[in-house]
Amino acid sequence: MNAPLVNDSLLRALLREPTPRRPIWLMRQAGRYLPEYRATRERAGGFLEMCTNPQIACEITLQPVERFPLDAAILFSDILTIPHAMRLGLAFETGEGPRFDRPVRSAADIARLFVPDPASDLRYVVDAVALIRRELRGRVPLIGFAGSPWTVATYMVEGGGSKTFARIKRMMYGAPRDLHRLLELLARATIAYLNAQIAAGAQAVMLFDTWGGTLTPAQYREFSLQYMAQIVDALTRRADGRIVPRIVFTKGGGAWLDRIAAIGCDAAGVDWTTGLAAARAAVGDRIALQGNLDPAALLAPPEVLRAEALRVLADYGPGPGHVFNLGHGITPDVDPENVAVLVDTVRGYRPPA
């Protein structure tokens, strides 16, 4: 039996309900900028080893919550757990990022894929979620997540990270039906995966569409947004007696926020290239917004960081429906003391009457 939730401000803000202050959590809040994370990684032996060990994933998830008065914990995992479970030979090379031994480049490659069973193929994630919920003891909600089908597919087809996305775009232009088959499979896998996280204890879920912004508007609607809409529509709506909010974040997708709002999600992430006032005008009162401080502001002197955080808060304006976050993840070179300054600034902010 999980403890009752003491601080539910994140969940209420994501549903555009009033909160006494702006809730705050940070993408990649558990990561390399924290000395305790680096110590755990040294002990664990590598990134994938940490992700696949529920006890270590729990420890890392809790590290930023123990250090800072954040309003949420986010599962320590990776967006490539689904293709890892498809047995594509995922490895994380130091300084190189993720690599697949068996990339997906043809119709035959796609035909060999399968939808992983979360109860067996991804059991380590489900077990980590359940353990984290117990260890949080109701202090703050736990966010589960997955990569969007388009973003996960880019890594599978490219075989790793890419600057040009040449291979997947060649498939998109030359064999669109093959790409749609891959994306449809990933959508089904993601629905099962996120619903398993919710069943295990995740109280909100987020789709990370890191590479949606590399597409044209029409391509985005066809190859990214429609699959995220399928996922949002099929997610478990209630757990533990309350609504499970669904967040969609397309990096570089500020021009498409109105379309994102129309797919039925509860909140949209906003990166730092779109102002929150403009974002709010685009979505109206349909969804909440999450964001959107430039992560590089955490490298600034404390007084500059405070001013930038206050500017973001003021840009959203009064009223409910804002979760403070970065426009993307924390970078490894950030001083944890600056994170403390940011959290203190946001927690102390009260909008002018």
Per-residue pLDDT of the chain (353 residues; tens, 9 = 90+): 788 899 999 999 999 999 999 999 999 999 999 999 999 999 998 899 999 999 999 999 999 999 999 999 999 999 999 999 999 999 997 767 899 999 999 999 999 999 999 999 999 999 999 999 999 999 999 999 999 999 999 999 999 999 999 999 999 999 999 999 999 999 999 999 999 999 999 999 999 999 999 999 999 999 999 999 999 999 999 999 999 999 999 999 999 999 999 999 999 999 999 999 999 999 999 999 999 999 999 999 999 999 999 999 999 999 999 999 999 999 999 999 999 999 999 999 988 76
Which pLDDT value is given to residue 1? 72
| Rounded CA separation 133/137 (Å) | 7
| Rounded CA separation 57/47 (Å) | 10
Which pLDDT value is given to residue 341? 98
Q: Is 173 among the residues known to form the active site?
A: no
| Rounded CA separation 310/92 (Å) | 37
Which pLDDT value is given to residue 328? 97
Which pLDDT value is given to residue 353? 61
Task: For the chain, give the mean pLDDT.
Answer: 97
| Residue tagged active-site, from 71, 78, 121, 178 | 78
Q: Is 78 among the residues known to form the active site?
A: yes
| Rounded CA separation 260/149 (Å) | 15
| Residue tagged active-site, from 21, 32, 67, 286 | 32
Two tokens at 173?
């232009």
| Residue tagged active-site, from 155, 193, 220, 316 | 155
Beta carbons within 8 Å of 119's beta carbon, 6+ residues apart: 126, 196
Which pLDDT value is given to residue 45? 86
Across 168-192, b (16+ Cβ under 10 Å) vs e yields bbebbeeeeebbbebbebbbbbbbb
| Residue tagged active-site, from 12, 22, 28, 280 | 28
Q: Is 209 among the residues known to form the active site?
A: no
Strand partners, 73: 142
Q: Is 32 among the residues known to form the active site?
A: yes
Which pLDDT value is given to residue 186? 98
Domains and CATH numbers, the chain: 9-348 (3.20.20.210)
Q: Is this model's pTM higher than 0.85 or not?
A: yes
**Integer distance in angstroms from the first to the last C-alpha of the chain?**
42
Which pLDDT value is given to residue 352? 75
Q: Is 117 among the residues known to form the active site?
A: no
